[in-house]
Every structure is written in C-alpha cells, then in structure tokens.
Amino acid sequence: MSKPAKGNPITDAPTLPPLSVGVNNNPGPHADPSKPPAPAPSGPAGIPSGPRPQRPPENNQHHQTPRHRFLSPAEWGIVANGIGGIRDREQHKPIHPTSWLWPPKGMPRGLYKDTVTQRTKFFYLYHISSGIRWILMLLQLFIGATLTALGSMSFKQGTPITVLGAANTIIAGLLAFLQNSGLPDRYRYDKSEFEALEDHIKEILDSGIAPANQTTDQILAECFDLYQDAKATVSANLPANYMPRITQQGGQRPGALTQSGSHSTTPKQLALQYAGGDSTPTPMIGK
C-alpha cells in the first residue's frame, strides 16, 4: 500500500446523494428501493398544507319546478268558465282587464273579476293613504316653520298662533293614527296578496298549463282556496282583529284561547307610577 507523497495532501471529499426537502429521509429497513421518493409538497418548507376549503352545497331547490302539462281545449274551457275567464263556452278566448280607471269593468262575474276588484280597491286605498300621509307631513313642516317665525313677533291677540297650534295638533294626531294602523303599507301588502292570485289565474288562462298531477276540479279548488286564503290574511291583519295564519289553518276561532292544565297564561306585571315615587304592581290575572 502506497502512501501519499508529502506536501501534496488528498483534498477529494466523498460525494453524498442529494436529499429531498420535506420528505422522510430515513425510509427504514422495509422501504421499497424500487419506488421513487415522494414529491415534496408545494409551498414553503416546514409549513404543512392545511385542508382545502369545501364549497357549500348549492341550493338547487329554487330551480326545481314541478312537472306541468298542457290542458286540453275541453279542460281549459272548464277551468276558464269556472273562474270567469271567458264570456261564453263557444268563444275560447281569455278575458283580461281593459279599463285603466276601473279594471273590473266589463268582465264577466266570477272569481277572476272578484280578484281584480279586490286588487284594484287596495291599489287605490294604498295610493290615497300614501298621498294623505305625505300631504300631512308637509303641512306639519310648514306650520312648524310658520310658528317659529311668528314666535318672535308681538301680537295683541294670539289668535293666529292658537289656530296654527291647533291645526298642528290635529295633523300630528292624524299621522299617529295612520302610523298605528299600519297605513299605507298594510294596503300595499293586501294588494300583493290578490295580485299574486291574479298572476296565477293569468298563467292558467294565457298558457293553458297546470301541474301534471292535478285535474280540472283540483285546479278550480286551488284557485278558490287561494282566494279564501288572501281574504283571511287581509282580515287577520286588521289592527283591531289580528290573528296569525297558524291559528286560521288550525281551525281555531279568533276569540278562543286554549288553556293547558289548570293554569292559564300569566301576563307580564305592569307598574303604575304615582306622584310619590312608589310603584304598585297590578294583580296577577289567572291565579
């Protein structure tokens, strides 16, 4: 064995295989040498990649339309004649409102005319009450400005200020009455109830389509049920006689109160403030 020469030392270092970053470099004794090493994950080294965000499932119920069918001429004539959409059975032509001032004018008697009448009535009531409210609000604004201007003047008699103050009080009372009655928005909601039914009737008359699982008598019964539901909704939302739709569907009367057990519903305690500062709660009802 030869020895290296003096003054010329060996500088060659052993070459190591390349190491992949982010993988297990110690495969262990049972590793398969034929398989290539796993690729390194993308991204900075040493930072584990988190789970991918899952997209929420799309709501396809809005786009699901029940299966419909075209009515035969005989079926369409029965339905149109039942809801008052044609003048006679011989003339198979749907009738729609033609008068712009009073749309039900000239329409044959039936469910279609009653629906258009109710929709038109609440349409005019909404616009009239809305116009009255805006006029009262503007008058109250002008009267308030006038009272402010007259307050700095000296009058021997305060009749103008008294009259304006009385008028302002009356206007404030009328505005409070409209606000507490839910007007004019309540008329707008009532109009929308009958407008939806009118659109349903127009769909049947113009297109002649209906759900595939319904017969002519079921189509007519559904239209009349929708009309009764609209009238019940209008009656239930009156300020003095409010009744939720759940109670109506359950068949309960408006004034009937169901009691569970021997104890009735306990109302909240009300405190009456007196001049001395003491408060006396009202006696509990139903004990």
State which H helix or E strand residue 271 sits in. strand 271-273
Residues 6 or more apart whose Cβ sits within 8 Å of residue 197 = 115, 223, 226, 227, 230
| Residue range 133-162: mean pLDDT, rounded | 85
Q: Give me the phi and psi of 211, to 5 degrees please.
A: -55, 145
What is residue 239's predicted lDDT score, i.e. its pLDDT? Answer: 74
Distance CA(42)–CA(20), nearest Å, equals 13
Chain centroid, CA 267 distance in Å: 30
161 band by pLDDT with thresholds 50, 70 and 90: confident
Q: Which residues, in sequence order, are bridge partners of residue 241?
A: 238
Tokens read off for 65: 């339309």
Q: Is the pLDDT higher at 153 or at 34?
A: 153
- pLDDT for res 88: 75
- Tell me the pLDDT tens digit for each residue of 237-261: 877 655 555 555 554 444 433 333 3
SS3 242: strand
Judging by beta carbons within 10 Å of its beta carbon (0-12, 13-18, 19+), is residue 227 exposed, middle or buried? Answer: buried
- CA dihedral (170, 174, 180, 183) in degrees, to 10, reads -170
Question: What's residue 272's pLDDT?
Answer: 36
pLDDT of residue 196: 95
Q: Which residues 6+ apart lie within 8 Å of 241 measured at CB?
A: 235, 254
Summarize pLDDT for 94-121 with one digit per residue, the tens.
999 988 899 999 899 999 999 999 999 9
User: Per-residue pLDDT averaged across 31-48, rounded?
Assistant: 52
The C-alpha atoms of residue 48 and residue 41 are separated, in whole angstroms, by: 8
- Looking at residue 154, the DSSP 8-state letter turns out to be -
Place of tokens 């409102």: 97
Query: If residue 14 lies in a helix (H) or strand (E), which one and from where to where?
Result: none
Query: What does the alpha-carbon distance between residue 280 and residue 287 come to, in Å, rounded to a whole number?
Result: 18
Q: Is the pLDDT of residue 191 over 60?
A: yes
Note if the pTM is more than 0.75: no
Q: What is the per-residue pLDDT across 260-271, written as a single tens digit (0 to 9) for each? A: 333 444 333 333
Question: What are 58's two structure tokens?
Answer: 């799309």
Tokens matching residue 44? 């900075």
> Closest Cα to residue 146, out of 164, 124, 122?
164
pLDDT beyond 80 at 66: yes
pLDDT of res. 64:
80
The DSSP 8-state label assigned to residue 218 in this structure reads H
What are the structural domain ranges in the chain?
66-243
